[in-house]
Structure formats: structure tokens, C-alpha cells
Structure 1
């Protein structure tokens, strides 16, 4: 079972694709698969950021609210800043992610509390800036500046190229940089990493900052796809994003897995979502199912050797 465990995510993905494909042959049509993959890209980007927080044994519960806030910022300031609104969105996400990291490391507040609080700040900012209403982008300006994000190259949605680029970047950070190696060491054993002379606080703050920045990119893509924003427009994405990270094989205890696992986990979530639509599962029941999948994923992936007690 120990040897099989690292291969469970892609085996699960393969089994799910076969099951859904047998039940609904149209599911396996290349155009349908590409469209399905394109639709899941904002969730994948959010999950990609969450991977860094979970990789160190933490959690980022602000990602959904961050994405909501960014849709408002992008919609509100597109006309004033033009293409630079994208940089503003990523910078805001990075800074608020840094705030989560600082609160977690300096004030020693558990990450699920600090990020939940920062998420509340994001939600309040979104309500204040939007007047608690939905905002629309100027369609012509959106298409001129960001239309490439939602266009197609042949039959391939451009969102997939964005996802691939971010995956390669995050994979490089994880496997080819000091930051990636340190994050793995912190997740595997924070006391040992600190004893080795590593400035653990600095690297943990960076992990939350990256998570915030990628949540902002997801929010920007949401805004462009929907041509607007609102304080609740991305609601319902946090749970599937966490599920994508965990079913991909990056446990809450950290130290193993990584962004490539999250890519597989996101595809698993995409197939599950598609199958629920094919089989007529209602939206209210979908969140229930993802909750059950989350519990199962935590139970199967968590390293209990790191937990003496469960509280």
C-alpha cells in the first residue's frame, strides 16, 4: 500500500474518466475535454496557490474572498489603469497574502484563523468598493486588453496556456529553487528546519504571499471571463480547490506532494463536477459531495505520525 500511495491520484483520475466515459461516451470527445479543462482553470490557479500554503503544513482560507475582491478591483479600475490593473491585482494579492503570513508567523496565530480573518478583510473591501453590488467591465476595453486570456488557439482555450505557464513556473520554484527546497523541509519537519539555521518565518510568509498572488490571478481571470465582478462571484470555489490539493496527494500535514499533484487533483475535481452534471446532481448536493470527498481525502493523505493528538 505504501508503494501504491504516490500513484493513487492518477489511478483515481484514470478510473473516473473510464467510468464517466462508459456512462456518457460524449464525455470523451476531445472538444468536450478541452472545454472542460478550460472551464476549470480559475479553480486550478486558486488550488495552485493553496498548494504552497498546504505544502508547509498550513492552510489558506482567504483564497476565495481574495478572488472575489480582485474581480471587484479589476472591474472598477480597468478603465483608469488599463493593462496595469493586472499588475495591481497581483500586487494586492501578494501583499494580503504576506499579511496572512506575518500574522501567522509573528503573532503565532494558526493559519486557518489568520487567513480566515484576512478573507474577512477582503470581503469587506470588496463590499465597500462595489457598494455591495455587481460591477460590469466595458466589453470593448476588456476584449482589447485581456481578450487573449479567454480566446482560443485553434480548438485549445487560451486559459490552458495560462495554466500550463503557471504550472511550469510553480514547478520550477518547487523543484529548482532554494525556496522550494526550504518549503519542503518546513513541511516535512519545521523544528528540524529551524534547527538547521533556516529562517523559517521568512519562507512561510513567502508561501502565503504566493498563495495570495495566485488567488489574485484566479480572480482576474474570473473577472475577464465574466466581464465583471462582485463580492460573492467566486463563492463555492474554495472547497473544490482544497479538495483538488488534497486528492492530488498533498496532505494537510505538508512535506510531500506538490504542484504537479495539484494538477492531477484539479482534473479529478473537474471529472467529478462533470459527472455530477451528467447524472443530474443538483448544485446544493454538489457541495455536500465535495465535503464528503474532502473528509475522505484528509483521512487518506494525512501523515498521522506528525499528529500525536487530534483536536
Structure 2
């Protein structure tokens, strides 16, 4: 008897089921949280709603949004990438070292190398059948060590930033280029996914990998591709960070791991995969950035940020977790 092949409608069936009240709430959660934070900050500090303050907030959120966008694809496939911050730090060191010799090509080189590293992690995950958590946890340690060795455990200054000065410009004199890069990145990826079979492939893989394989979905290729995009986004985030700091550092992006994960789950992407949105991750990045601004506005020490991010992740996962896919909690 031949193996039944699921058609595209069959692949979409788990995803297109009637939305539950919980899914509706999680869809609007980042927007509601974003609006509430803006109102709260405006009340606490009437000067917050000035153009200068708002521009500073979105400019600060841009590298985080880029980093979280790539990792969202991995989460949608049912995995997780814990190496994004360490890879971004390593990429910043590479960029600072390569700028004097490669000039304008250094940005493409860094993004390309980071994408290749991400693809390598994805390949190890699917070929060796090692959980993505373990592969990227190991990758995080390896990348951090390489960054320390290559940079001699110090900051690598950028003496000539001409090749990356575009990242510090303003479009129409008002909107930071970094923000435009983040929005365009999300728009391009979202459009590419929507107009191709990738939408069904990614969601089917995240919803049920076994069913997706039976349905003819190239699961391994989809997951490797997601890791490659995640790596490329880490490299691009590094470019934005180097342009802002005028240097590369083996720890420059290390503090962005928890905020990136928080942005993903606050955006309503289920940590179990199969449900989420790149646009909502963008909103989640703004929420996380506004929370940081809000803490300083009300006089709370930045030392409490990690506590807040941890609490946010736990609550957001509790709200978005698809418990039908987790039969045993370990």
C-alpha cells in the first residue's frame, strides 16, 4: 500500500482551524501591551511623547528587532536558537577587523559568514538529531570563546566607519536608517513567506514535524534555512551595533539574548512552534525596549531588568504554550 500524500489544504488544516479565544488574545497582546506602555510612560513623563524621545526608543529597538526576527523563524519551526547574541558579538568583532581591508564588502561578508554558521548549526541539528537547544547552547559557548580569542579579549575599535556610516543616517531627516532596516527586513521576510509555500511548510513543521514529513514537506531544508536566516540576522544586528558603538566587542550583544527571547514570546509566537508572526515580534521588541525605558523613567535600577525579562518570558510562554503538543512536562 502506498504512503498517503497530504495535499496543501491538508497541510494547512491544523493551522487554519477556528481561532480560539486564547489565540485571539495572543494576537492582540503585543499591540495592547505596546499601547499601554506608551500611555503609562506618557503619564509618568510628559516629555516622553516628543519626537526626540520616540526616535531614540525605536532606534534602540532596531538591533533587538533584527536579532529577534531571525530567531522567530527557528521558533516557528519548533526549535530555538540560543546562540544569536553570541554570534552577533562574534560578528561585530569580525566586522571591526575586516573593515580596513574589505571596506563596503565587509557588511556582506559578515552577514554571509553568520548565515553559514547558522546553517551549520541547523545541519548539525537535523543530521545528528541533536535538540536545537543543545546545539545552540554549545554554539553560544563556542562563539563567545572564538570572539574572545580573535579580539584578544578586548574591544576592536573602528577607525574608519565610512563603509557602515549608512547605519547612522536618517531617512527624510527623521527616521533612523537602522529602524528602516528592521522594518524592511520584517516586511521582506513576511512577504517571502506569505507568497511561497514556506508559510505552510514552516507552520506545518512547527505544528507537527512527523505529519509534515508525511505530507511531503522538506522539513530538514526548512529548519536549516530557518537557522541560516537566524544567523544572517545576527550578523546584520552586529553591523547596526558596530555602527552605533564605533567598535566591535566579544560581549557587545550578550545582553540581548533574554530581551530577544522576550520579544518573541511577548509577540505571541508559541514556544512550541507552529503559531506566530514576524510583525508581532517587531511589536514585541518595541515592548521590551519600552519596558527598559520605563524602568529608568520611574527610577528602577537597571539591575532588575533581567528579573523582569525572566518574569515576562515565563508569563508569555504560559499564555502562548500549546499544551496539546506537550503531553509530558519535564
Q: Which residue of 2 aligns with 1:107?
A: 128
Unaligned runs of 5+ in 2: 1-20
Deviation track 1:177-230 (CA, whole Å, cap 9, x = no partner) reads 223331111112211110112221111111111101101110111111111111
Tell me the distance in 2 between the aligned counterparts of 1:125 and 1:5: 39
Post-superposition offset of 1:290: 0.8
Post-superposition offset of 1:288: 1.1
Aligned with 1:230 (options 249, 253, 278) = 249
Deviation track 1:236-286 (CA, whole Å, cap 9, x = no partner) reads 100000000100000111111120110111111121111011012222211
Asked if 1:215 is matched to 2:234, the reply is yes
Q: Which residue of 1 aligns with 2:181?
A: 162
Post-superposition offset of 1:4: 3.1
How many pairs are equivalent? 308
> Is contact 1:49-1:215 (8 Å) kept?
yes
Unaligned runs of 5+ in 1: none
> Is contact 2:76-2:269 (8 Å) kept?
yes
Asked if 1:85 is matched to 2:106, the reply is yes
Tell me the distance in 1 between the aligned counterparts of 2:135 and 2:32: 35
Tell me the distance in 2 between the aligned counterparts of 1:206 and 1:145: 28
Deviation track 1:126-153 (CA, whole Å, cap 9, x = no partner) reads 1121111111011xx31x2111111123
Asked if 1:196 is matched to 2:215, the reply is yes
Asked if 1:266 is matched to 2:285, the reply is yes
Tell me the distance in 1 between the aligned counterparts of 2:25 and 2:239: 38
Aligned with 1:294 (options 313, 319, 325) = 313
**TM-score when normalising by structure 1:** 0.96
Asked if 1:37 is matched to 2:62, the reply is no
> Is contact 1:174-1:258 (8 Å) kept?
no
Asked if 1:152 is matched to 2:187, the reply is no
**TM-score when normalising by structure 2:** 0.91
Q: Which residue of 2 aligns with 1:178?
A: 197
Q: Secondary structure at the match of 1:280?
A: coil
Tell me the distance in 2 between the aligned counterparts of 1:120 and 1:4: 37
> Is contact 2:99-2:163 (8 Å) kept?
no
Q: Secondary structure at the match of 1:87?
A: helix
Tell me the distance in 2 between the aligned counterparts of 1:175 and 1:49: 16
Asked if 1:283 is matched to 2:289, the reply is no
Structural mapping, 1:68-83, within 5 Å: 68-83=89-104
Report which of the two structures shows the higher radius of gyration computed on alpha carbons: 2
Tell me the distance in 2 between the aligned counterparts of 1:15 and 1:227: 35
Tell me the distance in 2 between the aligned counterparts of 1:292 and 1:98: 31
Post-superposition offset of 1:17: 1.4
Deviates more, 1:282-291 or 1:42-51: 282-291
Q: Which residue of 1 aligns with 2:18?
A: none
Structural mapping, 1:132-147, within 5 Å: 132-138=153-159, 141-142=160-161, 144-147=162-165
RMSD of aligned Cα (Å): 1.2
Aligned with 2:119 (options 90, 93, 98) = 98
> Is contact 2:87-2:144 (8 Å) kept?
yes
Tell me the distance in 1 between the aligned counterparts of 2:192 and 2:208: 20
Q: Which residue of 2 aligns with 1:17?
A: 38
Q: Which residue of 1 aligns with 2:8?
A: none
Tell me the distance in 2 between the aligned counterparts of 1:281 and 1:235: 22
Post-superposition offset of 1:31: 2.4
Tell me the distance in 2 between the aligned counterparts of 1:5 and 1:77: 43
